[in-house]
């Protein structure tokens, strides 16, 4: 992994559509209906499949960092918790 040099899709920020900062132009997962969340998580799974092809071993790193994009960290963590719990439901 060379996140800063672009070998892992260019940076250490979140996948497209999953920036949960107040300055991002993307919808939060919190407050969405189940069908919308399921569709977004399915998009995330497709992204993770691409990431898994770029890594060795059985772990996939999901980068969610980004400079100056944690103005409201509670929003980030609530949405990441929704994302993680929804991934588990989809996996079951």
Q: What pLDDT does residue 8 have?
A: 60
The span from the CA of 68 to the CA of 22, in Å, is: 11
Query: What's the whole-model pTM score?
Result: 0.81
H helix runs in the chain, sequence order: 34-52, 73-91
The span from the CA of 72 to the CA of 21, in Å, is: 7
pLDDT digits 0-9 by tens, 3-57: 554 456 556 788 889 999 888 889 999 999 999 999 999 999 999 888 888 777 7
Q: How many CB atoms lie within 10 A of CB 63?
A: 16
């Amino acid at each position: 992994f060379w996140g800063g040099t672009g070998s892992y899709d260019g940076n250490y920020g979140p996948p497209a559509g999953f920036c949960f900062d107040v300055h991002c132009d993307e919808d939060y997962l919190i407050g969405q209906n189940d069908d919308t969340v399921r569709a977004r998580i399915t998009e995330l799974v497709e992204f993770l499949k691409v990431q898994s092809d770029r890594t060795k071993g059985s772990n996939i790193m999901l980068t969610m960092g980004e400079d100056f994009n944690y103005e409201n960290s509670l929003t980030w963590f609530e949405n990441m918790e929704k994302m993680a719990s929804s991934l588990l439901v989809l996996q079951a």
